Structure 1
Amino acid sequence: MNPTTGKTDTIRAIGIRCAAPAVALALILTGCGSDGDPQTSSSTIGAVNDINPKDASEIRDGGNLRLTLTSFPASFNAHHVDSDGELSDLVAWAMPGTVTSNAAGELSVDRNYFTDVQLTSTNPQQITYTINPKAVWSDGSPITWEDLKTQANALSGRNPEFLVSATQGYSRVDKVERGVDDRQAVVTFGKHYAEWQGLFNPLYPKASMETPQAFNDVDRNSLLVSSGPFMVTSIDKAQQRIVLGRNPKWWGDTPKLDTVTYSVLDYSARINALQNNELDFATVSGIDEVKTATNAPGIKVRRAPGVRFSHFTFNGAPGSILEDPKLRVAISKAIDRQGIATATQNGVVENPKPLNNHIFMEGQKGYQDNAAAVAYNPEQAAKELDELGWKLNGDVREKDGRKLEIRDVMYQQDSWVQMAQIAQQNLAKVGVKLTIQTVPGNGLFTNVVDPGNFDIVQFTWSGGTLPLGALPQIYAYDPALPQSNKGKIGTPELNALIEEVISELDPQKAIELANKADRMIFEEGFSLPIVQSAGAVAVRDNLANFGAPGLASYDYTKVGFVK
């Protein structure tokens, strides 16, 4: 599940809910003194997108699209544990996938890369992938069945030396065989996999996947080869800048843009950069930031509820202060999520409210409120803390000589801090001291989150049209292969239920089982979803076919500036 959507969500999250976390869902509360009156938008996903749709004939040839990152990629391998959702957004311009999605989340085969993707058998489950005969890597070599075979093996989890972010789906693949020719792959599963359509999004070449060393290092500093309409053409780590240019081996429609430039930029600098015509796109949130963008000349605020959500994830690893699930649940009950939703989204969405599901976004088929176990109830929270032996001693509770002081870590950004401050005030009322610690974007996950150097951590997950893959990736727990389970929390019972969900080929039954698992996740005190992204973005007003896509995929060949 992580930052902008389009093929990012198609590429990473369409099948799994993007494996890597995003740090860029900012909920800005600071004032700007604007007099504008921006419109509010619905918080329900799946109905619309807002990308200024234009026919290719209306878009000028050429131009440079200027985008931002909050940190320089730790790896350009989107399947590596060090990658994040921002990297997924970047490689979406340059790497192949199997399916695309419309605004309603309905899937279709991405015919740039595959002429057909079919479930050809259910016993055993078998998928036949027929590769577009024109599809080649940027070095001129054809995309073949061996690329799929090598990726399936690397992401299977069978060899822990492949430092993968997730194994969902691939761990169930029994074999990948050559079909009628090198341009067809037949994938046979040893166990059923419900969200088979999400596999190979994105697809990497055999050379990047064939050994642990290749997987971990070949794409560490750039993409070895690409296969999209764009490819990485220059990287300047000193200037924190990455440029993508047209791929000369691309066989599809000629892209409208000449280049796409990503620059690492502090989140707080985005709006000024947009106003100064140094940037063409930025996420905006909080009424004041939306007002600023609304009143900026040449800027348009576009809206479509996003597939990202902010959350507080707890560290339940052995020896941590929050190891006890009952303690995590009690603390959860003391945090006013509605208060955070109102403070951060009032005036931006019609009816701000917290997200009450870890798997489905509001408006998505399957969404229901499963958060009863952590409903805001500070009196009950205080009672449960007493029963657990955490007794008030002055302003802060203690147990066995240890104070109930917990450290909340987040990206160094005012919006995250202000969300934490609301929780800090809530928890202080029940005798829990919350210390707020901010860290830079560079190294946040590799140096802080992945090693478990937190009691609570705040970041965002990105969802997608096939969200069930989030369950084994994030919420199942195997100490030998934690994947994206940042809090090291889980139970054998939850693991078994997740196995049921992922093995269910009946979509309605899978949804019912997923919601049962979600209730268990809340009862375990795994994490607290806070709010679903309002999906507001500020863009150059002449930018077309790019903006707030909701569940839809981008067609990167049609992104550009109107004539």
Structure 2
Amino acid sequence: MSHDGVGPRAALRSAAFLTAGVLAVPALAGCGSDDPAGKPLAGADVARADRTLIADGGTLRWAVDTVPDTLNAFQSDADATTTRIAQAVLPSLYRTDGRGRPVRNPDYLESAEVVDTEPRQVVLYRLNQQAVWSDGREIGAADFAAQWRALSGKDTAYWTARNAGYDHIEKVERGRNDLEVKVTFSRPYADWKSLFTPLYPKQVMGAPDSFNDGARKKLKVTAGPFTVKKVDTGEDEVTLARSARWWGDPAKLSTIVLRAVPHDKRISALTAGTVDLAEIDPAAARRITAAALPRNGDSPLAGPAADRSAADALRSWAVANGSDEEAADEEISAREKLREKAAKHARRQKALGGFEVRKSFEPAYTQLALNGADGPLADERVRRAVARALDREAIAEAVLEPLGLPAEPLGSHLALSGQAAYADGSGALGEQDAKEAQALLADAGWEPGGPVKKEKKKDDEEEAAGSEGDDGSDSEGGDDGTYIVGEDDGSNGDGGDDDKAPRDSGTGAGRLTRGGAPGAYAPRGTAAPARAGSARVAKDGKALTLRFVLPSGPGSDTLRTVADRIATMLERIGIGTKISEVDDESYFKDHIASGEYDLALYSWPATAYPATDARPVYAKPAPAADGSLNVEQNYTRVGTDQVDQLFDQAVTTLDDSERRALLRKADSRIWAAAGSIPLYQRPQLTAARKNLANAGAFGFRTPVYEDMGFLKKGAKPAAGPSPDAPSAG
């Protein structure tokens, strides 16, 4: 599983993509506006250029995570590359703008509107009269009907990953003419704009065999600016070719090659010139930025000889020219190898000079997940204590400030800043407050400095397992997780500045170090300073230690930095953590999905349709027929009936403002239950050739594939940030 990709809409959220690379905000803050949604923290960074400035032809080589196992975006093994391909070759009735909101795509739709609500909701689509499939057939009601039947969930012969929304449809029929499609719903469905994107031809959707197998490796019929020319699993690449049947603005590029390149190999692919566009990690971004800096004479900015002083060079010269022939030969050989390495590094830096880093935010966020199924975190008070110990602003700063991106902690589980449903709901939980956190622990029976039973012949893992097994399950009763700070009782949860744990300054953006400087240890028996830290809390003879699971693969340094900071913050209120780094491949399946963790860091995509897509992520787990627990995609196992009811109301409420109010109320209750704590919107760093226009860090915006291309000689992209949002700098 890719740690960076976002699957199609919310199959989209069907597999949480896990990050491996990379709030002191008043409630309902809206960037100085009455609209709590505010503005996006950063706009798209794509080197915008008018089509007249872009050369006709050329091949864009685009690094992706995988060659997809299927080209059918509605199957369970569809991935981010499946989505990229579908966007380029298939109809999208709606796509997202720079604020993460759905907008009509005029290449396919003349209009779409709800024309009736009683006795049934009816949506009338009027199609662009030029819209045709690549075989010449008009796009029409037969394609809509075939997709509805395939995805409705009524025919189990179709191996579908999801049917959200399609199961609300009662019938699909032709309107007054071939350009009209009339969709009647059996019950109201607010997120109707999410449907039929992407739209597959009836040749794919019309029969189970063609759905299940026919569209996995080829798409014979398409309707976009590009077609699928070739899927080459041997070369690990997919080739898209400009479509001769496309009726919109013709694609500037002749071909797009989506090439599978692992993240730790992308800097090498850029220097070798085998890719033109690639999402990268912060370390690669620093390399590219350094390559663009002016050089000081002949001295390298970095590389094999960067840390050699003048004294080192003089000593090397003396040995190489000394009387000891054996030492001289060894030194001469070492000097030659160093020169070769330096020359190789210089060539690579020169190659990287042809690229630039384009940066924005992904439509996704990183969260701290707290497993509430069992163990200490099954007690809501302990989860709230963990949440109120966190300085989320400091965590966001540690990740985002070094990248030159706005370091704002995220205030919602359901939307990102700028999206219609966004509002900062973190006030429902309360601000960071160490004393309040300790009081919550004490209320749950966890006392500082309490007696701890010693168990003989137990290694660290067994002790950790024992700690996890003590759930202290005298959890609060009451309102099923709907307690909200400041709601009804008038409290604001603010203990004042003196009550707050000091902010963790750490060591800049890097990983926190343990134990201080070498040699800086007090003699045995020396009393600890008065403010050295809080005593570990304990209950029933066991100290409170939480198992913190992280992926260990390439690019996981950012997550480790975040985890170390969280561990330090928890230690201040007496909670210990045991950080375990596990293999990337097993991280999600064997730990997150199976519930084998106490704390974990992973990411969710945000979509334009939270009433539909976010519900399974926060739905209250329910017993299945076989006795197991059905968690859907709620891997924290924390949910409430009230949250479920609010989602159910939101998805059937057609009034936009009422639906947003319901979603914001649901988000407040999700905050109060403290099953997951949003930390920050994920940074998006993309390396792009300097002459590549209309491509890069897309942010919220759906890519416009026909506008991508290489600038004509002497042409310059438009200056300034995206018009959708303030500058990322």
TM-score (norm: length of structure 1): 0.82
Corresponding residue to 2:195 among 177, 194, 199: 199
Does residue 687 of structure 2 align to residue 538 of structure 1? yes
The aligned counterpart of 1:475 is: 618
User: Does the CA-based 8 Å contact 1:218-1:224 persist in structure 2?
Assistant: no
Bigger mean CA deviation after superposition, 58-67 or 374-383 = 374-383
The aligned counterpart of 1:61 is: 56
Aligned-pair CA distance for 1:211: 5.8
The aligned counterpart of 2:711 is: 562
The aligned counterpart of 1:37 is: none
Give the secondary-structure state (helix, strand or coil) at the position aligned to 2:89. coil
Determine the C-alpha separation between the residues in 2 that align with 1:321 and 1:212: 47
Corresponding residue to 1:265 among 249, 255, 261: 261
User: Does the CA-based 8 Å contact 2:546-2:575 persist in structure 1?
Assistant: no
User: Does the CA-based 8 Å contact 1:309-1:532 persist in structure 2?
Assistant: yes
Larger radius of gyration: 2
User: Does the CA-based 8 Å contact 2:621-2:638 persist in structure 1?
Assistant: no
The aligned counterpart of 1:40 is: none
Q: Which amino acid aligns with 2:255?
A: T
TM-score (norm: length of structure 2): 0.65
Bigger mean CA deviation after superposition, 552-561 or 448-457 = 448-457
Aligned-pair CA distance for 1:17: 7.2
Give the secondary-structure state (helix, strand or coil) at the position aligned to 1:120. strand
The 1:458/1:106 distance shift into structure 2, 3 A limit, reads closer
Give the secondary-structure state (helix, strand or coil) at the position aligned to 2:250. coil
Determine the C-alpha separation between the residues in 1 that align with 2:160 and 2:382: 31
Does residue 653 of structure 2 align to residue 504 of structure 1? yes
Corresponding residue to 1:344 among 383, 393, 399: 399
Corresponding residue to 2:246 among 241, 247, 250: 250
The aligned counterpart of 1:31 is: none
User: Where in structure 2 are the equivalents of 1:28-39 lying within 5 Å?
Assistant: none
Residues 220-264 of structure 1, C-alpha deviations (whole Å, 9 max, x = no match): 445564332223332333443322223344343331212222233
The aligned counterpart of 1:50 is: 45
The 1:238/1:171 distance shift into structure 2, 3 A limit, reads same
Q: Which amino acid aligns with 1:474?
A: V
Does residue 562 of structure 2 align to residue 419 of structure 1? yes
Identity of aligned residues (%): 29
User: Does the CA-based 8 Å contact 1:96-1:201 persist in structure 2?
Assistant: yes
Q: Which amino acid aligns with 1:77?
A: N
Aligned-pair CA distance for 1:498: 0.7
The aligned counterpart of 1:12 is: 9
The 1:18/1:253 distance shift into structure 2, 3 A limit, reads farther
Aligned-pair CA distance for 1:194: 2.2
Determine the C-alpha separation between the residues in 1 that align with 2:207 and 2:375: 35
Give the secondary-structure state (helix, strand or coil) at the position aligned to 1:252. coil
The 1:310/1:241 distance shift into structure 2, 3 A limit, reads same
Bigger mean CA deviation after superposition, 67-76 or 353-362 = 67-76
Residues 109-148 of structure 1, C-alpha deviations (whole Å, 9 max, x = no match): 3232233322222322211123334434445554332322
Aligned-pair CA distance for 1:517: 0.2
Aligned-pair CA distance for 1:519: 0.9
Corresponding residue to 1:176 among 172, 176, 189: 172
The aligned counterpart of 2:602 is: 459
The aligned counterpart of 1:360 is: 415
Q: Which amino acid aligns with 2:260?
A: V
User: Does the CA-based 8 Å contact 1:404-1:432 persist in structure 2?
Assistant: yes
The aligned counterpart of 1:408 is: 549
Aligned-pair CA distance for 1:266: 2.6
Give the secondary-structure state (helix, strand or coil) at the position aligned to 2:229. strand
The aligned counterpart of 1:516 is: 665
Corresponding residue to 1:282 among 269, 278, 283: 278
Aligned-pair CA distance for 1:309: 1.4
Does residue 577 of structure 2 align to residue 433 of structure 1? yes
Aligned-pair CA distance for 1:331: 3.2
Bigger mean CA deviation after superposition, 129-138 or 182-191 = 129-138
Determine the C-alpha separation between the residues in 2 that align with 1:323 and 1:207: 49
The 1:148/1:110 distance shift into structure 2, 3 A limit, reads same
User: Does the CA-based 8 Å contact 2:550-2:600 persist in structure 1?
Assistant: yes
User: Where in structure 2 are the equivalents of 1:362-401 lying within 5 Å?
Assistant: 362-372=417-427, 373=429, 375-389=431-445, 393=452, 397=467, 399=470
Give the secondary-structure state (helix, strand or coil) at the position aligned to 1:12. coil
The aligned counterpart of 2:139 is: 143
The 1:331/1:89 distance shift into structure 2, 3 A limit, reads farther
Aligned-pair CA distance for 1:189: 1.8
Residues 283-323 of structure 1, C-alpha deviations (whole Å, 9 max, x = no match): 3565x654433343122233444422122334445x67755
Q: Which amino acid aligns with 1:329?
A: R
The aligned counterpart of 1:300 is: 356
The aligned counterpart of 2:148 is: 152
For structure 2, list consecutive stretches of 5 or more residues without a partner in the other structure.
23-37, 292-352, 455-462, 471-539, 625-629, 713-729
Give the secondary-structure state (helix, strand or coil) at the position aligned to 2:664. helix
User: Where in structure 2 are the equivalents of 1:488-503 lying within 5 Å?
Assistant: 488-503=637-652
Bigger mean CA deviation after superposition, 362-371 or 426-435 = 426-435
User: Does the CA-based 8 Å contact 2:4-2:17 persist in structure 1?
Assistant: no
Flag the structure with more relative contact order, 1 or 2, with Cα contacts below 8 A and sequence separation at least 6: 1
Corresponding residue to 1:129 among 125, 131, 151: 125
The 1:445/1:433 distance shift into structure 2, 3 A limit, reads closer
The 1:80/1:411 distance shift into structure 2, 3 A limit, reads farther
The aligned counterpart of 2:304 is: none
Bigger mean CA deviation after superposition, 466-475 or 62-71 = 466-475
The 1:105/1:433 distance shift into structure 2, 3 A limit, reads closer
Q: Report how many residues are paired.
A: 539
